[in-house]
């Protein structure tokens, strides 16, 4: 049975009273007497001081005992698969959905209100966002809006000046994906404004993904053409500039979203926690963790090379996750204000690793990953399957229940 922590908000209204003088009738008095005024006391309410802006979406969601969630594409959220995914949550200890709001291409996944500046990037993948949110509310599903930030082919093609170019053309990686430039505040505001719209829709948390430069950027940072924006300086240390810009974006987004009463989370490569900082992509685990409510390391066993003494991590899901959890705990314990750890774990089979390097992932492998987290004090997690085909029959009951 799902447990919930219900938070209550109390509103205190202060009424201030004032005294207002009223003219009394003047009395004609004898010579040598002074004029006198009689004063009546009349009470009036002053207008209450304008409170600091705090947005209320009108929905009532509660943060669960621990977020145990799944990734949901916009096609799934707006299609027939949505009911199947809701049933998965109804019949297990899963309780949350991470839903694409700005997808991996850069499209907004629903049609916004008329006059929205994002109408030209909107796709009707989620046909009725309001109905979707009402269903999530009724089903007590904690909603997290996923926004893919700096991987954005749509904006890059529309505004090459906000991207990275090579020989006059927008640069793309080996998968044909373009990125926009994290140095530029215009790019920050573009994504933060989409996040604000998601908060207004009722999402209780905004999850930023691809908060980084392209992989291997350190090999091309001096050959591609792009602006350093406000980070232009004589300092030749481009690694520091990249780390500063990514960290500053996260801090900026968190500040701008504060009035909307949403949690802020960031997806980050798992290996970044094991390094002082990732030089190419600009991610510093500790510095990003200082500015978020939730840190979601992507620790799929298939995505590790030989690490933590595990030669073939995909073959040993429990061991690789347990070893990472110990390392991350120590890293987060160094922080004064520690965010919630909510890693992404694997519900897919990584056959591309080749024979002998992968195993078929199913009930046992998923339960092993969850157990490894729980045994190390990490109660929250998210399941990733790109096609949203999640393994059935998995026992997600928390370890201590």
Q: What integer is the mean pLDDT of 316-324? A: 98
| pLDDT for 254 beyond 90 | yes
- Tally of CA atoms within 13 A in the half-sphere of 386 that contains its CB: 6
Q: Are 380 and 340 in contact (CB under 8 A)?
A: yes
User: Three-state SS for 259?
Assistant: helix
Q: What integer is the mean pLDDT of 189-216? A: 98
What is the residue whose two structure tokens read 């500015």?
A: 291
110, burial (CB in 10 Å: exposed 0-12, middle 13-18, buried 19+): buried
Strand-pair partners of 297: 268
Strand-pair partners of 273: none
Interior/surface letters 5-34, b for 16+ CB within 10 angstroms, e for the rest: eeeeeeeeeeeeeeeeeeeeeeeeeeeeee
User: Three-state SS for 294?
Assistant: strand
Q: How many residues does the chain have?
A: 401
Q: Which residues contact 144 (CB under 8 A, 6 or more apart)?
A: 67, 69, 96, 97, 98, 99, 203, 204, 205, 206, 207, 265
pLDDT confidence of residue 54: 65
Q: Which residues contact 91 (CB under 8 A, 6 or more apart)?
A: none
Which segments of 171-212 does DSSP mark as H helices, in order?
Answer: 185-201
pLDDT digits (tens, 9 = 90+) for 353-396: 999 999 999 999 999 999 999 999 999 999 999 999 999 999 99
Q: How many CB atoms lie within 10 A of CB 302?
A: 20
Q: What integer is the mean pLDDT of 158-187? A: 97
Which segments of 91-184 does DSSP mark as H helices, in order?
Answer: 129-138, 153-158
| pLDDT for 217 beyond 60 | yes
pLDDT confidence of residue 53: 58
pLDDT confidence of residue 22: 34
pLDDT confidence of residue 9: 36
| pLDDT for 158 beyond 90 | yes
What is the residue whose two structure tokens read 């600091």?
A: 52
Rounded to whole angstroms, the Cα distance separating 345 from 272 reads: 16
Rounded to whole angstroms, the Cα distance separating 86 from 153 reads: 31
The percentage of residues in the chain with a pLDDT greater than 70, rounded to a whole number, is: 86
Q: How many CB atoms lie within 10 A of CB 81?
A: 16
Q: How many CB atoms lie within 10 A of CB 74?
A: 22
pLDDT confidence of residue 32: 37
Lowest mean per-residue pLDDT among 40-49, 62-71, 144-153, 190-199 = 40-49
pLDDT confidence of residue 57: 79
Nearest one of 334, 255, 232 to 287, comparing CA atoms? 334
| pLDDT for 46 beyond 90 | no
Nearest one of 15, 117, 72, 129 to 385, comparing CA atoms? 72
Tell me 309's DSSP state.
T
Q: What's phi and psi for 62, nearest 5 deg?
A: -125, 145
pLDDT digits (tens, 9 = 90+) for 269-281: 999 999 988 989 9
Superfamily the domain 68-384 falls into: Glycosidases (3.20.20.80)
Q: Are 289 and 244 in contact (CB under 8 A)?
A: no
pLDDT confidence of residue 400: 75
Residue 183's pLDDT band, with cuts at 50, 70 and 90, is very high
Q: What's phi and psi for 183, nearest 5 deg?
A: -75, -20
């Amino acid at each position: 049975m799902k447990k919930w922590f219900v938070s209550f908000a109390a509103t205190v209204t202060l009424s201030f009273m004032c005294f207002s003088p009223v003219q009394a009738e003047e009395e004609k008095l004898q010579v040598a007497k002074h004029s006198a005024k009689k004063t009546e006391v009349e009470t009036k309410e002053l207008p209450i001081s304008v409170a600091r802006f705090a947005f209320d979406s009108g929905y009532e969601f509660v943060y669960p005992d621990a977020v145990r969630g799944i990734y949901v594409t916009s096609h799934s959220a707006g299609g027939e698969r949505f009911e199947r995914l809701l049933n998965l949550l109804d019949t297990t200890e899963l309780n949350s959905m991470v839903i694409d709001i700005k997808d991996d291409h850069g499209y907004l996944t629903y049609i916004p209100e008329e006059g929205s500046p994002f109408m030209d990037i909107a796709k009707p993948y989620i046909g009725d966002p309001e109905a979707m949110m009402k269903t999530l509310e009724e089903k007590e599903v904690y909603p997290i809006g996923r926004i893919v930030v700096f991987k954005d082919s749509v904006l890059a093609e529309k505004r090459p000046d906000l991207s990275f170019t090579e020989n006059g053309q927008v640069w793309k990686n080996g998968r044909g994906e373009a990125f926009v430039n994290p140095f530029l505040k215009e790019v920050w505001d573009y994504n933060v404004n989409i996040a604000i719209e998601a908060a207004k829709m009722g999402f209780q948390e905004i999850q930023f993904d691809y908060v980084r430069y392209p992989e291997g950027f350190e090999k091309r940072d001096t050959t591609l053409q792009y602006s350093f924006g406000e980070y232009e300086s004589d300092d030749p240390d481009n690694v520091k500039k990249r780390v500063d810009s990514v960290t500053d974006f996260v801090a900026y987004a968190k500040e701008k979203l504060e009035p909307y009463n949403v949690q802020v989370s960031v997806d980050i490569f798992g290996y970044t926690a094991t390094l002082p900082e990732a030089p190419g992509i600009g991610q510093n685990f500790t510095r990003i963790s200082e500015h978020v409510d939730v840190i979601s390391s992507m620790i799929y066993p298939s995505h590790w090379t030989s690490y933590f003494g595990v030669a073939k991590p995909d073959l040993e899901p429990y061991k690789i996750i347990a070893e990472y959890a110990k390392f991350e705990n120590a890293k987060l314990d160094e922080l004064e204000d520690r965010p919630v750890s909510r890693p992404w774990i694997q519900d897919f089979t990584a056959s591309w690793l080749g024979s002998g390097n992968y195993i078929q992932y199913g009930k046992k492998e998923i339960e092993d990953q969850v157990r490894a987290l729980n045994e190390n004090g990490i109660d929250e997690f998210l399941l990733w399957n790109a096609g949203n085909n999640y393994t059935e029959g998995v026992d997600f009951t928390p370890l201590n229940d």
